Amino acid sequence: MKNSAEVLAAIHALEEAFPVDTWHCGDLPLWPWYRVRLYVDAVNDMLAASPSLKPLARLRHLAGRAARAVGRVPLASWRDRRSNAPVRSGATAVLLSDGMSFTRLGEAWYDRVMDPVLQGLAAQGHAGLKLTPLAEAHVPRMVPSRFVQPRIDLIKLLATRRPVRLHAPGLDALRLAAAERFRVAAPDEAWLRLQAARLQALASWFDKPLRATGASLAFVNTYYSLEGQAFVLAARRLGLRTIDLQHGMQGPQHVAYAGWSRVPAGGYATLPDEFWVWSEEDADVIRAWGARAEVPHRPRVTGNYWLDRWRDESEPLVARFLAEAAAQRGGAERQVLVSLIWGVSEDEEINRLIEAARRCPPSFGWWWRLHPVEAHRRAELAARLQRHGLDGSRVGAATDLPLYALVRRADIVVSHSSTVLAEAAQLGVPCVVTSDYGAGLHERLVRDGLATHANDAAGIARAIVAAAARTRPAARAGGSAAGSLAQALRDVTCQAHGLVPAEAPA
């Protein structure tokens, strides 16, 4: 398999052939999480990424991560204690962050997906509680939140002893059929049993803050994570409206948003009621399957409100960071922004990019930006670049500065498959996509001439030089995302309180 479309087609065939929509553990549907794992394992294999860990190794990995969280998160919480959000009644919404969608704005960290929603709710007189997972625990925070990762890790570890009863007819047959399509084995019953135990345990824990706040709305970033699905399940058990907020690339090749061919009449209890998306194209992908359920999973276009904010150079915050990004060019004739992803092999990404950079004119400047998950590896990457005769002095700045400030001050954006390629095109910056997988995800950009696809180092270098020589395309017109978000918040809060929302503007 060469791209995600082929992986999804194989999953669709399995979904059609087996009664996966009937798989459950109590009120927990099992197929959504199994579907995601099938996709992730197949893509990791396709991209020659690190193989999935064996069960015992997974437990050791989880224990190690939990140990880091136990030390790091309480310390961060104490240092930034004025921004610790209490769990108390009176909140309209509870929000589960992904723990990664943070950008540093000066001395404080801002959650680009969740914080605009919290601030929008506050502007309309509603309180919200944000739960932040992962061990990174970015502090100081611009907007208060509650760190939850040590507890989540403990729940996962303890859930290994929790007995559960599964109903998964046809699982063994599906695994045999999957073996004919994928080189990696599909997860077995033991894996599914463990995941069901963890999902049930996490949902029981999320019930506590949801119930204590008396919230009527539950927002989630990355609903398709294990924690996200447990959060959605807990919220739906309590009758809350659940809403997924787009944070990155979706579209017709994303396993969590595209092509669900079997949807139960009442929908899946681990999928949100609503998907707030950036574009009509993203919404159409969800409409194609979400409307089949009697209680449908519905999209709503709110736009990319964080990106739209960076179009306005008159805003002081935007002007400040655009100036800082410009200062990082260091007199380069052309500035290349390399947005690295994580989870793929070095041969698949960094090795060919380093060789491509060595082939480009010395007058080109390079910003190497690490994915948030690997931001701690900046010194390692800088040293590696230096060993290859490249400038590694700006890795830290390129990783820490707001992404859209860098995009706006770059001349070319290069990535294996990152969402930033689509966002750069929105801002009128030419792109180079360096993998078959990425070219599949960004097929429309390549087709429309907004991105060039090149696989090998020589081809990538030629594409970068050619993009630098072309006239820069005009930025696409921005939408009124801030107004769309405000209207969406008015609508859901009014409906949650039994009121009739005002009609949205045309």
> Is 63 a residue whose pLDDT tops 70?
no
Residue type, 492: V
The pLDDT of residue 487: 94
* Band of pLDDT at residue 341, cut at 50, 70 and 90: very high
> Is 75 a residue whose pLDDT tops 80?
yes
* pLDDT tens profile 379-408: 999 999 999 999 999 999 999 999 999 999
Q: Specify the pairing of strand 24-25 against strand 28-29.
A: antiparallel
Contacts of 292 (CB under 8 A, 6+ apart): 263
The pLDDT of residue 266: 87
Q: Specify the pairing of strand 431-433 against strand 451-453.
A: parallel
* pLDDT tens profile 428-473: 999 999 999 999 999 999 999 999 999 999 999 999 999 999 877 6
Q: Could you give the C-alpha distances from 317 to 311, 322, 434, 476, in angstroms and in order?
A: 12, 9, 32, 22
Residue 257 has which token pair?
Answer: 């948003």
SS3 62: helix
The Cα 23–Cα 342 span in angstroms is 32
Which of 46-55, 135-144, 188-197, 346-355 bottoms out in mean pLDDT, i.e. has the lowest? 46-55
The pLDDT of residue 54: 54
Distance of CA 446 to the CA centre of its chain: 22
Contacts of 140 (CB under 8 A, 6+ apart): 79, 80, 83, 107, 108, 109
Residue 347 has which token pair?
Answer: 């041969």
Residue 390 has which token pair?
Answer: 């490249």
* Band of pLDDT at residue 50, cut at 50, 70 and 90: very low
Mean pLDDT of 244-256: 95
Which runs of consecutive H residues, i.e. helices, occur in 360-480? 378-387, 395-400, 403-409, 420-426, 436-441, 443-447, 457-469
Which runs of consecutive H residues, i.e. helices, occur in 4-54? 4-17, 31-46
Nearest CA-CA partner of 137 in 128, 148, 153, 124: 148
* pLDDT tens profile 286-330: 999 987 777 779 999 999 999 999 999 999 999 999 999 999 998
Mark 379-403 as b/e (b = at least 16 C-beta within 10 Å). Answer: eebbebbeeeeebbebbbbbbebbb
Would you say 394 and 326 are in contact if contact means Cβ atoms under 8 Å apart? no
Domains detected in the chain: 53-164+187-311+478-506 (3.40.50.2000), 316-469 (3.40.50.2000)
> Is 478 a residue whose pLDDT tops 70?
no
- For residue 244, what are the β-bridge partners? 220, 275
The pLDDT of residue 503: 47
Mark 345-374 as b/e (b = at least 16 C-beta within 10 Å). Answer: eeebbbebbbebbeebeeebbbbbbbebee
> Is 58 a residue whose pLDDT tops 70?
no
CB atoms within 10 A of CB 55: 13
The pLDDT of residue 403: 97
* Band of pLDDT at residue 501, cut at 50, 70 and 90: low
Which of 52-56, 116-120, 276-280 bottoms out in mean pLDDT, i.e. has the lowest? 52-56
Would you say 207 and 83 are in contact if contact means Cβ atoms under 8 Å apart? no
SS3 69: helix
SS3 94: strand
The pLDDT of residue 348: 86
The pLDDT of residue 472: 74
